[in-house]
Amino acid sequence: MNTPRLSPVAPAERIVLLDVLRGFALLGILLMNIEGFVGPLNSALTGVDPALSGADRIADALVYFFVQGKFYTLFSLLFGMGFAVMSGRAEQARRPFVPVYLRRSLGLAVIGLVHALLIWSGDILLSYALLSLLLLAFAEAPTRWLPALALVVYLFASCWVLLFGAVGTLMQHDAAFQQQLAQVGTQWQQAVEAQRQAFGAGSYVQATLQRVHDLGESMSGLLVNGPTMLGMFLLGAWFLRSGVIAAPERHARLFAWLRWGALPLGIACMAASYAISPWMDPARLDMAAAAGWALGSVANLLMCLGYLAWVTRAAHALRWLAPAGRMALSNYLLQSLVCTLLFYGYGAGLFERLPRAWQLPFALALFAAQVLLSRAWLRAFRFGPVEWLWRGFTYLQWPPLRRRNAVA
């Protein structure tokens, strides 16, 4: 008897809630990333810009408090769910999972490299592709262990930062240490200026060379960011494998706790982090700064889960997000392409010309256009264009792209 061939998930087999969640996460990602499109990316990663005032500062603070860190965490959670979907389908089909998954990761790495080197430095896909390989080590882990494993892995980064903060506090009166911190601050400012020159006034070649440099910096940042992403991958795998996300009505108490317990607790942690340090000074290393970062990281986890629970409850009303979520990868790349061509010097040249307060309505308008475009595309096609290429490479077969009943 022939073993059934492992193939992409058919549209009729999709969990609509996952597409709604992906669409919601895509909106949050754009609201977070827009600052890094309009201006130097490094400046967008350190909290509330102390140079801003008025409406610009309010907009920056709102994004930092409610969006930054919460939505890439949600995206990571959804990535882990995708891993569990693939592994579960491979088990049902009694087909080898590892070769298919390795091709999936390789394909994502190639897409991430193209994005990071040729379009935008803030790529997350390459990091996901590299970290996804570590998920294989947990493929056989009992489902009931996954939440605890996820929490341990996720909190590793916070513990690491707190340890460095304690060391920094002990060395506050060491002249050599202070000199090193000053050099870090100077290097950070130089990096910001280099991005300003390359992306705001440089040619495409100059911008690409800067993106090559930025890629090296982002890979080194995986020592801190990697555990948080991997922890969310594992938690996402638990949500799928346990059946929680497929049948949320059967886990009403869990989702109620996430809405009314995790989210308020996360907001409290974020408020404490903001009170300690709304701006993460790159030249500062002490226990207070580390505590602010760690509290923010915990807040990201709790608020992400709270958002997940509220979107799940309102999933029917938010079904309009599903088309954008079904082609989230294509839309994510399209956001980068549109924004860099609009703001970068080799495009329309609007770099650092859109005020912070106006960046949010711009992002909302762009996302609304993507929702409409996604709906129109999916009337004629079964997958987003990049999703189709990725699936074809993963499964070594090209799934039908055009719908049979599509109007020519």
Give a yes or no: residue 97 inside a domain: yes
Q: What is the pTM of this model?
A: 0.93
Residue 95's pLDDT is what?
78
187: Cβ contacts below 8 Å, ≥ 6 apart: none
- Please answer whether residues 388 and 400 qualify as being in contact, where contact means their C-beta atoms are separated by less than 8 angstroms: no
Q: Give alpha helix (H) positions in 196-327.
A: 204-220, 222-241, 252-257, 263-276, 287-313, 322-326
Give a yes or no: residue 401 inside a domain: no
Tell me which DSSP letter residue 279 carries. Answer: B
229: Cβ contacts below 8 Å, ≥ 6 apart: 72, 76, 127, 128, 131
Give a yes or no: residue 403 inside a domain: no
Give a yes or no: residue 408 inside a domain: no
Phi, psi for residue 46 in degrees, rounded to 5: -120, 20
Residue 14's pLDDT is what?
57
Residue 209's pLDDT is what?
98
d(CA 164, CA 290) in angstroms, rounded, equals 8
Residue 408's pLDDT is what?
40
Residue 6's pLDDT is what?
47
Phi, psi for residue 47 in degrees, rounded to 5: 95, -150
Type of residue at 54: G
Residue 383 gets the label, from left (phi > 0), alpha (psi -120 to 50) or beta, of: beta
Give a yes or no: residue 400 inside a domain: no
- Please answer whether residues 85 and 46 qualify as being in contact, where contact means their C-beta atoms are separated by less than 8 angstroms: no
Give a yes or no: residue 86 inside a domain: yes
Residue 1's pLDDT is what?
41
Length of the chain: 408
To 10 degrees, the CA torsion angle through 282, 284, 285, 290?
-80
Residue 93's pLDDT is what?
72
Give a yes or no: residue 53 inside a domain: yes
- Please answer whether residues 55 and 213 qualify as being in contact, where contact means their C-beta atoms are separated by less than 8 angstroms: no
Domain range for 88 is: 11-395
Residue 10's pLDDT is what?
47
Beta-strand ranges (E) seen in 12-88 are none
User: What is the domain count for the chain?
Assistant: 1
d(CA 181, CA 324) in angstroms, rounded, equals 43
SS3 letters across 373-400: HHHHHHHHECCCHHHHHHHHHHHCCCCC
Residue 267's pLDDT is what?
98
Type of residue at 404: R
The CA–CA distances, whole Å, from 57 to 15, 178, 292, 299 equal: 39, 30, 19, 21
d(CA 121, CA 326) in angstroms, rounded, equals 24
Query: Digits of tens for pLDDT over the chain (408 positions)?
Result: 444 454 444 444 458 999 999 999 999 999 999 999 999 999 998 999 999 999 999 999 999 999 999 999 999 999 999 988 888 877 777 778 889 999 999 999 999 999 999 999 999 999 999 999 999 889 889 999 999 999 999 999 999 999 999 999 999 889 999 999 999 999 999 999 999 999 999 999 999 999 999 999 999 889 889 999 999 999 999 999 999 999 999 999 999 999 999 999 999 999 999 999 999 999 999 999 999 999 999 999 999 999 999 999 999 999 999 999 999 999 999 999 999 999 999 999 999 999 999 999 999 999 999 999 999 999 999 999 999 999 999 999 999 999 876 544
Residue 405's pLDDT is what?
66
Q: What is the Cα Rg of the chain in Å?
A: 21
